[in-house]
Chains A and B, each alone.
Chain A
Amino acid sequence: QVQLQQWGAGLLKPSETLSLTCGVHGGSFSGYYWKWIRQPPGKGLEWIGEINHSGSTTYNASLKSRVTISVDTSKNEFSLRLRSVTAADTAVYYCARFTSLKAVATSLWGYLDLWGRGTLVTV
């Protein structure tokens, strides 16, 4: 059974860099897009960005200047870095797998079918 295990620092000071990693265990890493989503306390869900096994990325325009998502295919892991954090970045951060409805992996036209447990990051 495929599982996503995520880890990283949960308490940051303003201007520091958020760093989280998500490991994919028990299943294929290629053939999917892998996404980061965040949820401020008591609020809704916001897409941060995504990556595939080849390293192709897309970011939310509102965060693009501060975000980097990378992949380590040798470890089946992908990571999120968010620079210059402020209190507005306080949220639960989730990693998730995106399954495409198309014959090939796409970053749209599908759904998030597997989620990590989430990491509360407090700034």
Chain B
Amino acid sequence: QSVLTQPPSASGTPGQRITISCSGSRSNIGTNTVSWYQQLSGTAPKLLINRNTQRPAGVPARFSGSKSGTSASLAISGLQSEDEADYYCAAWDDSLNGPYVFGTGTTVTVL
């Protein structure tokens, strides 16, 4: 049902760099900014990236966001065991799907 598509899973070993993609359309990512959320098991989501690339205070610099056209990406550099979580992208959607939509979610596993 979600209009933002993410890969179901991603994995890496400690220290590696992984990326998570988020594919949308002109009415959402193509027109509006993207945010990313991290949800650790059994907890509420936490804002990781806003306005495509901005990290809120307290978010480690190893998390970075980017956007190009109708797609966005979250990169985790120097992967750590505590990064094992679900990650969601989100954006405002100007179409009838909106107003606000989340991605399908990606489970990150640290091997």
Real binding pair: no
